[in-house]
Structure 1
Amino acid sequence: MLHKEISGLATSMQLGNKQVIETIGTLKQRIVEVETELKAEIERVEEVYNEKLEPVLTTSAEHSTAIKDLETAMKKMSEVMKRMKEVQDRVSGQLARMTDKCLDLEARSRRQNLRIVGLREGKETGMDPWEFTANLLKQVFKLSEKPKVDVAHRVQRAHSRPGAPPRQIIVKLHDIAALEDIMKKIPFATNLMFEGETVRFFRDYPAEVAKKRALFTKTRLILKGIPNLRYGIIYPAKMSITYKDLERFFIDPEEAFKYAQELTKDIKG
């Protein structure tokens, strides 16, 4: 009886082991199938991914090449701009020097010139302009003899309209010493008249220089008439102000004006 039971149990176990083995085999087969399916799906996904990524990589590579080309071009452009800046600075320096030389040459060509302001238009009509201006200078400044005049003419512009100021007269003296003699008399002369007309006399400066000197006019006006004070404008446009033993120089008209205001305030108390 016991032998039969043991035999039956062994038979059952054999049958159970067989089922387990079959189940394991089935699982292994299913694992292989799943693995195959996963590999196939991964390959499909990789293929799709590669298809979509390829244009991106190509575009990225093109962009990288373009960026490198741009960087190279920018470096070359930077070098070109640097060379251009050097050339520009050199040319600007040369232009400034040439401008200064031209202005100096123009000023030198005017060294013997005198401007006569305020003389009525047509006053010299019918007379030799050289003789007329020589007589004018001799009479106004009470010279011992007439100065020799090389050139004399009105400024080159349209005739003055009725009521407008008369055109100035430019006079070129033959002898610069004669011009300097006249210029020394001007500061001490008041109300200069010629045949009943008030006239004024100025050096003939280039327009550029004249404009710069004119900027000191308001400073000169507030300094005029103060005792023990001397002032003047040194060529081309530098103002000197001397009070007692203190002398100051100014290139900036506004600085000169502020100093003049403070100085006159201190002097007048």
Structure 2
Amino acid sequence: MSKAPRQKKTDLVSSNGSAELAKDETSVTDGAALMAAIKSLEAGIYQKLDAHAAESRKEISLLQEEVHNLLMAVTSEVKAHEERLTSLENATSEWTTSLQVLEPTVASLRNEIAALQVKCTDLECHSRRSNLCLVGISEGMEGTQPTKLIAEELQEIFSLCEPLLLARAHRTLASRPAEGQRPRPFVICFHRFDIKEDIFRQAIQAKQLKFKDRTIAKKRAAYYDVKRVLRSRSDVKYGLRGLTGFQITHAGTEHKFDTPAEPIDYVKRHVTTP
């Protein structure tokens, strides 16, 4: 009777041991699975890291290649600029040398041109010293022999014994005026300067000249009044302009006039006014 319970206890202990053993085996199995999962996860992480690293290396390689190409292009451009700068420096040096060589030549040419201008002005003035300008002769009266007509007119105007010897006489170089407009003046070149001066003095003394009942005027005599007023003014420069005009330089400004009335009016308003 007393042995039966002992048997049960032994059976119970055996049963509990099997359970613990089964439990241990399950724990070992779960741990192995966990380790396998960890290793699998670790392998996946490494694989992804390797993939990202490979992609990064590829991108870095492409970036390095692009930067290298850009640097090569910049280097090539810099070298080209250096060559151009060197070329420009050489050219500038040559130009500087050329300019240094040309400066004396230019200075000499300037002096020569200035001398020639003075000579040209002197020749022009001398060529006009024997000229007078006669206005008031109707258009077309001269026909084909203007010099002969003017010589005969001067003979009649100044009551000369014979026609004057003129080098030439012609209308001013302007377009023919329309009917009723002022006729173009005559430019008269005398063969002898003393004859021209004699005619000039007679014209000034006469103040008004007539030819066949028509009033005519000589240009210099027409501007006689304004020249007489300005002759005493050292601050005013004046003189004839071209063949029919007059000019006045006052207060650093040059004024040009085409008729005798204009300079007289200007002098009254701006020069002689207190």
TM-score normalised by structure 2 residue count: 0.50
What is the CA–CA distance in structure 2 between the aligned matches of 1:98 and 1:54, rounded to whole Å?
63
Task: Look at both structures and tell me which one has the larger radius of gyration over its CA atoms.
Answer: 2
- 1:241–1:248 Cα contact (<8 Å) kept: no
Structure 2 SS opposite 1:163: coil
Alpha-carbon distance change, 154 to 241 in structure 1, aligned in 2, over 3 angstroms? closer
Alpha-carbon distance change, 59 to 115 in structure 1, aligned in 2, over 3 angstroms? closer
Q: Quick check: 1:78 aligned with 2:96?
A: yes
Structure 1 SS opposite 2:96: helix
What is the CA–CA distance in structure 1 between the aligned matches of 2:84 and 2:134, rounded to whole Å?
72
Alpha-carbon distance change, 89 to 158 in structure 1, aligned in 2, over 3 angstroms? same
What is the CA–CA distance in structure 1 between the aligned matches of 2:76 and 2:176, rounded to whole Å?
79
What is the CA–CA distance in structure 1 between the aligned matches of 2:161 and 2:251, rounded to whole Å?
43
The corresponding residue for 1:104 is: 122
What is the CA–CA distance in structure 2 between the aligned matches of 1:176 and 1:69, rounded to whole Å?
65
Deviations 1:73-92 (A, max 9, x none): 22223333454565455445
Letter in 2 for 1:264: T
1:18-33 to structure 2, matched below 5 A, reads none
- Among candidates 132, 136, 139, match of residue 118 of structure 1: 136
Deviations 1:12-45 (A, max 9, x none): xxxxxxxxxxxxxxxxxxxxxxxxxxxxxxxxx9
1:242 Cα deviation after fit: 0.9
1:95 Cα deviation after fit: 3.6
Alpha-carbon distance change, 159 to 64 in structure 1, aligned in 2, over 3 angstroms? closer
What is the CA–CA distance in structure 2 between the aligned matches of 1:191 and 1:163, rounded to whole Å?
22
Moved over 6 A (4+): 256-260
The corresponding residue for 1:264 is: 272
The corresponding residue for 1:241 is: 231
Larger relative CO (CA 8 A, sep 6+): 1 or 2?
1
Q: Quick check: 1:167 aligned with 2:167?
A: no
How many residues are treated as equivalent by the alignment? Answer: 188
Structure 2 SS opposite 1:123: coil
Q: Percent identity?
A: 25
1:169-184 to structure 2, matched below 5 A, reads 169-184=186-201
Structure 1 SS opposite 2:179: coil
TM-score normalised by structure 1 residue count: 0.51
What is the CA–CA distance in structure 1 between the aligned matches of 2:102 and 2:201, rounded to whole Å?
51
The corresponding residue for 1:250 is: 237
- 1:115–1:171 Cα contact (<8 Å) kept: yes
What is the CA–CA distance in structure 1 between the aligned matches of 2:80 and 2:152, rounded to whole Å?
89
1:66-215 to structure 2, matched below 5 A, reads 66-84=84-102, 87-125=105-143, 129-143=146-160, 146-155=163-172, 159-202=176-219
Letter in 2 for 1:101: K
The corresponding residue for 2:23 is: none
- CA-atom RMSD in angstroms: 4.3
What is the CA–CA distance in structure 2 between the aligned matches of 1:181 and 1:136, rounded to whole Å?
16
- 2:168–2:188 Cα contact (<8 Å) kept: yes
Letter in 2 for 1:76: E
What is the CA–CA distance in structure 2 between the aligned matches of 1:169 and 1:262, rounded to whole Å?
32
- 1:192–1:198 Cα contact (<8 Å) kept: yes
- 2:236–2:249 Cα contact (<8 Å) kept: no
What is the CA–CA distance in structure 2 between the aligned matches of 1:85 and 1:260, rounded to whole Å?
49
Task: List runs of 5+ in structure 1 lacking aligned partners.
Answer: 1-44, 204-216, 225-229, 232-239
What is the CA–CA distance in structure 2 between the aligned matches of 1:262 and 1:130, rounded to whole Å?
41
Structure 1 SS opposite 2:123: helix
1:35-46 to structure 2, matched below 5 A, reads none
Task: List runs of 5+ in structure 2 lacking aligned partners.
Answer: 1-60, 239-247, 256-265
The corresponding residue for 1:227 is: none
Structure 2 SS opposite 1:110: helix
